[in-house]
Structure 1
């Protein structure tokens, strides 16, 4: 798995922190890691972006942004408003493929959801994943509404014959409600793919050393962790 594309079912689902956890476990396993952020929006030129946050939490990962736009909008819209060139799927694929010749693992973190537009032709992260023939990890929210958003995302991946590695819950609450507890059983069913982790809410505020030490406990062995879906479900959502 030299390239892993990480998308969310929407915005603010914990995609960047999940990317940092995946990077941290890979680094702890002795692999070199690069993080590609095709389009960073809503951040000034002098501010830290998502890729920088991943490296801060995870450790010595190489980071690369292809474009940065100031407005907190979809990349295509933000590029148009800033009168700057958009990032196209072919450019994303080319950059990721080049990084894969230099690093053991390349994490491509999207913007928002799978079908957020990057250019005026409607190019998306899904198009880039197809060009790369790379697997996709989907980060989902825990609570009410996540089943619909997750199934729509995973159905689109299936329609495109893009491999779905699994689902990670990007922010698991301290006191999960009934919907969140039930979703532990329902998410892998609607996705047709396994749950591969659940990050406790707020872990992005941990000191980096603590984040790196604990990351393995949030992710399944497929992602170099120790998290077990059955044990987690039995503990958090007992029958």
Structure 2
């Protein structure tokens, strides 16, 4: 079994955190001692003197993982901008060494780490040129790419996959978010993404009901995990 997987996206707000929660839940429900990790998170929620990483909190709570936020997210920022800019503004720049140290510490306690990225593959993590692509290669992980199901996704997904090949990143599979079998564009997008990129779409997540990451509302997420889970998905993760 591999040591983990990296969940990236074609853009920001494509549903990486919700998908990460689903995948981590599936892993743990199938007996895998898995945990969540995110190198840098911006747009954290302030509660008094504390910064609460909304995405991380959502994933941990849904998957039933009890961990301290500073163990799984080395860099937490309040301002909702790219990590390199957030770190510059808040005076706490992303450190590659700190990320690697925290990641390795977590690996000692868990058999499998699901790592969620910030945005897409070409996101600067600090002003020294350290990018998400470099992080993926440093961690030596394959990638699950989360894409929108609607119009434009063929281009966005294909560009991401071509770039991944150029920088030595393996895309293990694609997950389409917000998918409907009743939408002719969604159905065709799925077929074209697989055809153009010789890719595998491993899961099609429909519109979810009552799910709110910031307000920690899970809606029908658990029901959807049960419905969508297959041994094939587990195989692609493992």
TM tier, smaller = 0.7 to 0.9
- State whether structure 2 residue 200 is matched by structure 1 residue 194: yes
Displacement after TM superposition at 1:102 (Å): 1.8
Residue 28 of structure 1 aligns with which residue?
29
Residue 83 of structure 1 aligns with which residue?
91
Residue 4 of structure 1 aligns with which residue?
5
**Which aligned pairs between 1:1-239 and structure 2 lie closer than 5 A?**
1-46=2-47, 47-60=52-65, 62=67, 64-88=72-96, 90-173=97-180, 175-176=182-183, 178-203=184-209, 205=211, 208=218, 211-224=221-234
Q: How many matched pairs?
A: 224
Q: Do the aligned residues in 2 keep the contact of 1:169 with 1:199 (CA within 8 Å)?
A: yes
- What CA distance in whole angstroms lies between the structure 1 residues aligned with 2:126 and 2:146? 23
- What CA distance in whole angstroms lies between the structure 2 residues aligned with 1:104 and 1:112? 26
- State TM-score, norm by structure 1: 0.84
Q: Secondary structure at the match of 1:98?
A: helix
Distance 1:115 1:61, change over 3 A: farther
- What CA distance in whole angstroms lies between the structure 1 residues aligned with 2:104 and 2:201? 27
Q: Secondary structure at the match of 2:123?
A: coil
Q: Do the aligned residues in 2 keep the contact of 1:216 with 1:224 (CA within 8 Å)?
A: no
Q: Do the aligned residues in 1 keep the contact of 2:211 with 2:220 (CA within 8 Å)?
A: no
Displacement after TM superposition at 1:164 (Å): 1.4
Q: In structure 2, list runs of 5 or more residues that go unmatched.
A: none
- State TM-score, norm by structure 2: 0.84
Residue 233 of structure 1 aligns with which residue?
none
- What CA distance in whole angstroms lies between the structure 2 residues aligned with 1:91 and 1:103? 19
For the aligned residues, what is the CA RMSD? Answer: 2.5
